Every structure is written in structure tokens, then in C-alpha cells.
Structure 1
């Protein structure tokens, strides 16, 4: 019951009014008494947080907490792709000839996800990852590889659940939810990082607008529940280094370009 309540706060409800209400409560000082039960329920490692738990004045402030420096070592090997977030790799695979991918038995067109057929062209027969961030995870996102930011744009207006149930029963939320796409030019080709928002609110905060992207560098965070999709341009030398359904930490290797 307690976990169900907290899921409501960080993944939000399906109706705009209930979402707005829960958002307001999570940002108010009234939610401070929920922080310790939240940390206990989700078994959050309090030692990693930048500040002691009593420092945080609202549930959302704790949910969007920074970590202590050095908590997430970055794999700096130039042939390695790192996870941009803490989360679970729920899906990965090849983007097929028709530029579609399958997620929870639904076919998605990457044209729809990216919102532009021309932008989608380099990713044909490329590789994709889906990273799901549960309430227990650190909710900041980082660059998975060195590169140059060539575009950043937003799509969608409202959002629906991105948890397992929402993906199975929803109307293709990855192609319709509010999302912000950051596209990089890298030594291994194009890379698109799609941040998918929470229910009915703009929950994606961009904190770094520099066009120079450094592997492991933070560039924003989610205010509520979330998912990150990663598209890589086709490269026959690329292979994943973890199995599907792996729990990963930001900075950990999730793939590599084999020479």
C-alpha cells in the first residue's frame, strides 16, 4: 500500500487534475514527512546522496537529489558507451530496415519518436536501448559518449505512464508523450538521447546548454517518473555488453565499438 502511494507521487496519476495535485503536494513542505518512509520503502542508499536526508525540505527535492562526487565512476575507455542514467535496461536491439522497433509487443516507428523522417534516416539498422528509471533510482541524466550537440527539441504535450503496465496497455507513449530529444554527432556517428516525460507534466529539466558534450557529464534531470531512449547510428562494430533487464548505474559500460 505504501509503495502504491509513493508510485502515485513520482509517476503521477492518469488525469491532469490529479497529476497537478500530486505534483503540488510533492513540491510542498507538507511532503517532508514522506521522505524517510520513501527512502525506506525503495531501499535508497542514503550514503550516496549529496546531503543528509534531513536536509531535503520536500519529497521532490529528495527525489531529484544530486549524488556525492565519485559515487558514479565513469568508464572513460574511448570504445565504450556508458549508461546515461541509473535504471533498468528493459529493451535493446536493432532498428530494422523499416525504421521500427518493438517494445512490449508494440511496434514503434522511430520517425514518430523523433518526429522527423530526415532525422531518423541515420538510425536505420542502428541500435536502440530503453532505460526505465523507477522511483528508487537517481534521476539525473548524463551524456553517454563524447560528442557535439547538433540539435535539441521538444515534442508532445501530455504524457501517459511509461511503466510496464503503461507500455503494454497505453497508446504508444514513447511516440506521443512529451519528450526532449538531444542529438549528438560523435566519432561513431549520430546518437539521439530521448528523455520521455512523466504524466501530464513537463518533468524534464535541462541544466546544461553547452554544445560540447563530455562523456559522463550531467545535462539535466527528471522531476518525476521517467524513461530514456537511446538511438545509435548503424555501425557493424558495435555490440551490447550487458543483457536485457540489467540494472545499471550511470557511467557503467552498456556497449562497445569493437575494433
Structure 2
């Protein structure tokens, strides 16, 4: 009985109007009083932040904080793809004829995730990773590769939670929530960085100014409160490193796999 009731409550609170209200408060100076409580509750290592806690003017500013220089070294290996975020891998595997199988017990199509983009065909038999950011994590998003931005798309949607409950008990959350998709051309092909909004997320923002040419580990975007990034790799261009897989806890800049010339 509890799960259907919680699903109903989640449906009612998943509208953008609710997120706008909570987002407006999080950006207000009044919210700064909650920063010490928020940091303690979620075990956030405040010593890693670029500034002292008292110097942040709102909860949102603290949440989207930068880290001290050098805390997330970018792997410099040849042809390496690095993690764009601090996260937990909650989905991982080969895309099979356009299907991403068993993401918390549900199957997704690349077509619905990318909003029927013509670029979908490039990922039909590629690889995918679902990277979940908890409130504890650093919430800025970096480029996983050096490359050129080919296209950007904002896909309006709901703001269901993307935690375990949301992914397990709400229908196809990743492809129903608001998304910001960045297609990047790298040396060996193309990849899609799909930023998925979540409950109480007021927005997903690109950094400003956003360069057309990205550096590996360079600034790309940030979440205003927690969410998920889905990486889609063009068919035949990516292999994960041993030890990287479902359930891995990873840091931004960590090597996730190797890019290579397309193989059919």
C-alpha cells in the first residue's frame, strides 16, 4: 500500500512549478542558514570546497560549488575517456539494437532518451553508462573528452526523483524527466552527454561562456541540486576499463574506458 501512495505523492510533486518554488528559495539569501545543516546531514566534505562555508551566499551557490584546484586530477592517458562527474554507476552495458537493458529493472530505448533525434542511429549498438549524483557529490559536470560541440538540445519534461525509488518504481524516469543533451565530436566519433533533471532541481545550466571546443575535464555544465548523467557512446568506439562497472563509485577525471576507431 505504501508504494502506490508514495508514487501518487511523487506524481503530484513532480511538476516544474514545485521545482521552481524550491529553486527560488535555494537561490535566496535566506537559504544560506541551511548550508551548515545541509553539509552535516549529507556528509559533504566542506574542506574540499573552493571557499569557506560562510562565504557562500545561498544554498544553491554552495551546492554548485567548485572544488579546490588539484582535487580532481584529470587522467592523461592516451585515448582515455574520463568521468564527467563524481557519481555511482547505476546503469552500464552494451546498447542492443537501440535498447538500454536493465537500468534498475527497466529497459529504455535510445530513441526516447534522445527525444527521437536523428542522431539516434549512431548509438544503435553502442555503449551506455548511467551516472547517479547523490546530494553528497560534487555537482559540476565536466567534458569526458576533448572535442567539439556538434549540437545541444533541451528536452522539457517532469522532475521525478532519480534515486533508487524513482528508477525502480516510477515508469521510465530517465526518458520522462527534463533533459539537456550535448553531442560532442571527438577524435574517433561522437558521444552524447545527457543531463537528466530530478525532483527539486530548478534547472540544469551550461557554464558561461560555453566554448565550442571542449578540453578533456573542462567545464561543461552543472546541476542545481542532485541528478543523473547518461553517457552514450557511438557504436564501436568505446570499451570500459576492467574494474569499471555497475555499482562502481567514481570521481570526476577518473579514467572510465578507452576510445578507439569504429569497429563493427
Corresponding residue for residue 40 of structure 1: 40
Structure 2's unaligned 5+ residue stretches are 1-12
Contact 1:158–1:201, Cα closer than 8 Å, also in 2: no
Against the structure 1 CA distance between its residues 200 and 43, is the aligned structure 2 distance closer, same or farther, given a 3 Å change threshold? closer
Corresponding residue for residue 10 of structure 1: none
- Give the Å deviation of 1:202: 4.6
After superposition, give the CA deviation of every residue in 1:98-131 in whole Å (9 maximum; x if it has no partner): 4443311111110011112531111121110000
- Give the Å deviation of 1:185: 1.2
Contact 1:90–1:131, Cα closer than 8 Å, also in 2: yes
Aligned residues: 247
192-201 vs 178-187, greater mean Cα deviation: 192-201
CA distance in 1, matches of 2:200, 2:154: 15
CA distance in 2, matches of 1:100, 1:128: 7
The reply on whether 1:151 has 2:151 as its aligned counterpart is yes
Corresponding residue for residue 239 of structure 1: 240
CA distance in 1, matches of 2:132, 2:237: 26
CA distance in 2, matches of 1:60, 1:201: 10
The reply on whether 1:107 has 2:107 as its aligned counterpart is yes
CA distance in 2, matches of 1:137, 1:237: 26
CA distance in 2, matches of 1:111, 1:237: 20
Ranges of 4+ aligned residues in structure 1 off by more than 3 Å: 13-21, 98-101
Contact 1:88–1:133, Cα closer than 8 Å, also in 2: yes
TM superposition score normalised by structure 1: 0.88
- Give the Å deviation of 1:53: 0.8
CA distance in 2, matches of 1:182, 1:254: 19
Q: How does 1:16-165 map to 2 (within 5 A)?
A: 16-165=16-165
CA distance in 2, matches of 1:206, 1:122: 24
Against the structure 1 CA distance between its residues 178 and 60, is the aligned structure 2 distance closer, same or farther, given a 3 Å change threshold? same
Contact 2:189–2:237, Cα closer than 8 Å, also in 1: no
CA RMSD of aligned residues (A): 2.0
The reply on whether 1:209 has 2:216 as its aligned counterpart is no
The reply on whether 1:181 has 2:181 as its aligned counterpart is yes
